[in-house]
Amino acid sequence: MAGSSPGFDATAFRDAISSAMKMGASPIEGERATFHFPAQLVYNGSMDGDAVPFDPAATVVSSEPPAVQVDCAIEYFDAEAQPTAFGMMSPTRIAVTVLDVDYERVKDCSYVVVGGDRYDYRRTEPPNGLFDVGVYTLHFLSQSET
């Protein structure tokens, strides 16, 4: 297997990292990182290749996929006054680190709520890893400061 190493137990590594992430999470479930996804439009009829319904009488409803919680590590960066062309500003942001198996569950998120504060998705760093285990860091900006 590409990237594997004799003696490296990827399952044990994932379990240990997930355990460390659980230790660092809030003991209150409602304050833990909860990933939210963009709403999707669902039509009651067939559509063409551009997602336009064939039937002009077709109805549409907005459906938001369920939010998910996964084991993750959160790094918080408080707002720092940085000079910009518009004055001093730099919003509060967070970096959320997840393992590959959980990244698949959150990679399409539009925002995350942590401790009641909403942070909007901005970007994902190129993946890092350890042999067979991928590690992803997603960056978010505080919604109240963007």
Task: Give residue-wise pLDDT tens across range 28-73.
Answer: 989 999 999 999 877 777 888 877 788 887 788 888 899 999 999 9
pTM here?
0.80
Please give the mean pLDDT across all residues of the chain. 87
What is the share, in percent, of the chain residues with pLDDT greater than 70? 88
Domains and CATH numbers, the chain: 10-38+65-145 (3.30.2000)
Does residue 74 contact residue 35 with C-beta atoms inside 8 Å?
no
As a whole number of angstroms, the distance between CA 59 and CA 71 comes to: 38
pLDDT at residue number 3: 60
CA–CA separation, 146 and 121 (whole Å): 11
Helix, strand, or coil (residue 53): strand
What the block records as the tokens of 65 is: 């996929």
Cα–Cα distance for residue pair 82/24, rounded to 1 Å: 30
**CA-closest candidate to residue 104, choices 35, 18, 31:** 35
* Other Cβ atoms within 10 Å of 21 Cβ, number: 19
138 has a pLDDT exceeding 60: yes
Residue 1 confidence (pLDDT): 44
